[in-house]
Amino acid sequence: MSNTVRSIFSNPWVGAALLVLGAGLTLWLLIRLQIVLSFLLLALWIALLLDPIISWFEDRGLRRSWGIAITLTGLVLLGALGLWLSFPVFLNEFARLSQNIPRYQQLLIETFSPLQERLGLDIPGIVSDWLTRLRTDHQFATDVFSTFWSPFAKLVQRGLSGILDILVNLLNLMLVPVIAIYWLNYRIETISTKIVSYLPAKRQAYWHERILEIYHLLGGYLRGQLLASLLLAAMYIVGFYALSTPLALFMGLFAGIANIIPYLGVFIGLAPALTLSFLEHGDLWHPMGILLIFMVAQVLYGNVLAPRIIGDRIGLHPVTVLIAILVGGTLFGVLGLLLAVPVSAVIGLFVREYLEGRPRHAKRSSTSN
């Protein structure tokens, strides 16, 4: 019986089927648990970003707990200072934007009126006829009411049931720094040693090296991408203020941070900046200036910031990155957009090693002989 079972599982087709089944089950679990995973990954990101600073303190003789306390205190003070300086600016920018909304509406009417006349559309007349029919035609009013009320009722029902979900998510968010501090209490070498201790002895050295490599790859990529995005945000803010763009500070920070999502982040930040610039000035010269700012910033990012700060850490082709972003965004939403590149980089690490056919543990064993 045992020989029969062993022969079944040694069949390559059975192994492939089990691999596909395991991958599908893992993907299903990830989708079901994506909210919980998002908080855990946020804690992991914090640990990856702060670990080099805390290790720097530890290497100079300071206890790791003191390094964590100093680092977190410094971050809180720095964040409070940034909020104290930027919050009045945000309030003024949004207040000015709200005052200009009637002017923006008038600009849109004047801009699209020629198009409306060219297409022969009488939008005010269409709206008036629709309202008249709504008052006089009972069946039409019932159909419209049911059409609009049904999704609204579902939204209200979800909102009421979602209050508990909001409270749970707030609790999970409060646990994020606690989990991050717990991870930061140990060096990655200690964590890796503990993990691989459950593996067979002949595989421990290989996986210990692999975990360290993945850790340094992800940490370096995240820290480099965040620093490059902040530098881009500074360039955007200066350019937006120079062109008198509404919400210059907010839009500059938004466009810079959006750059964390490769390729798509540029368009996420560009679209609202172009729209606000056009609404504010009512011409094409200022939006063209916004477009020029993004072009110059992306050229600097691709030729100066990315090579020097990030380097070729992920080792992925641009088409592969785009496919990973599309798949990640489709399956996991915003979380998938943020994780697509790091996860693909880790997968690519193992795929390249498999295709090369020379695992590192095999190299070491051959050199030792």
How confident is the model over 265-274, as a mean pLDDT? 88
Q: Reply yes or no on whether the pLDDT at 366 is more than 50.
A: no
Q: Are 215 and 181 contained in the same domain?
A: no
Residue 19 lies in a domain: no
Residue type, 114: P
How confident is the model over 299-324, as a mean pLDDT? 72
Q: Are 174 and 311 contained in the same domain?
A: no
pLDDT score of 299: 87
How confident is the model over 218-223, as a mean pLDDT? 82
Q: Are 148 and 288 contained in the same domain?
A: no
Q: What's the total number of domains in the chain?
A: 2
Q: Are 182 and 223 contained in the same domain?
A: no
Determine the Cα–Cα distance for residues 173 and 180; give it in Å rounded to an integer.
11
Determine the Cα–Cα distance for residues 10 and 228; give it in Å rounded to an integer.
49
Residue 291 lies in a domain: yes
Q: pTM here?
A: 0.69
Determine the Cα–Cα distance for residues 52 and 226; give it in Å rounded to an integer.
15
Residue 27 lies in a domain: no
pLDDT score of 361: 46
**Domain that includes residue 121, residue range:** 35-186
**20-71: per-residue pLDDT in tens?**
787 778 777 766 766 777 777 778 888 888 888 888 888 888 888 898 899 9
Quick check: 178 and 47 in contact, CB under 8 A?
A: no
Q: Are 180 and 237 contained in the same domain?
A: no
pLDDT score of 41: 78
Q: Are 239 and 154 contained in the same domain?
A: no
Q: Are 98 and 159 contained in the same domain?
A: yes
Confidence tier at 369 by pLDDT (50, 70, 90): very low
Q: Which of 254, 295, 297, 257 is nearest to 276 (CA)?
A: 254
Find the Cα–Cα–Cα–Cα dihedral 103, 109, 110, 115, rounded to 10°: 160
